[in-house]
Amino acid sequence: MDSSKLNDWMQVIGIFAVVASLIFVGLQMRQAQEISMSDAYQVRAAATVEWTSAFAANAAALSANRKATEGAVDAITPEESDALRYTMLGVFYLFDNAHYQYQSGFLSDDFWIMIEQNIRTYMDNPVAREIFLEKTERAVRPEFRDVLLRINAELESDLGE
């Protein structure tokens, strides 16, 4: 075999090697993204479990939440109000983080729809809605503010019907 044919074959083999290595790198990147998404999900789940446990253990917050849900907002004591406020701030930040994760591509559209439904459920509670809307006036990401204001408008529209 002459040197030009040998050179041609070596170039073909080199091209296949480059293509194979690019495929391998692509597979590694995909695996790294899946691991990252799994880690993000685990962190969100742990934070949600921690928040839920803290809420369940907070008798004053539970009492205030029950009263607010039942329409007895005036019966909420100052201690209950404070407990519910801090509890709702915790869930507010969980929702804000979920929205950020969604915008960053770490949450599916279906999962975000479920989160929006949860936000809507919380905002059905007049005290939680007040706290969430109060937060929109201060330090909150504009994109998340837009979500809260849209959900609030939908809730007000539902009340008007």
Report pLDDT digits (tens) over 92-141: 999 999 999 899 888 889 999 999 999 999 999 888 999 999 988 887 89
- How would you classify residue 105: left for phi > 0, otherwise alpha for psi between -120 and 50, otherwise beta? left
Question: Phi, psi at residue 104, to the nearest 5°?
Answer: -85, -5
pLDDT of residue 29: 87
Average pLDDT along the chain: 88
Residue 160 pLDDT: 67
The CA distance from 122 to 136, in Å, is 15
Q: Residue 1 has what pLDDT?
A: 64
76 Rama sector, left if φ>0, alpha if ψ -120 to 50, beta otherwise: beta
Model's pTM, two decimal places? 0.74
Instruction: Retrieve residue 6's tokens.
Output: 């040998």
Q: Specify the DSSP class assigned to residue 107.
A: S
Cβ contact 32:25 at 8 Å: no
Q: Residue 42's pLDDT is what?
A: 84
Percent of the chain with pLDDT strictly greater than 90: 42
Q: Which of 110, 87, 74, 95 is nearest to 140 (CA)?
A: 95
Helix ranges, 57-141 (H): 59-69, 78-103, 109-123, 126-136
Question: Which one has a higher pLDDT value, 106 or 85?
Answer: 85
Tallying the residues shown for the chain, one arrives at 161
Q: Which amino acid is at 24?
A: F
**pLDDT category of residue 144 using cuts at 50, 70 and 90:** very high
Q: Whole-angstrom Cα distance, residue 108 to residue 117?
A: 14
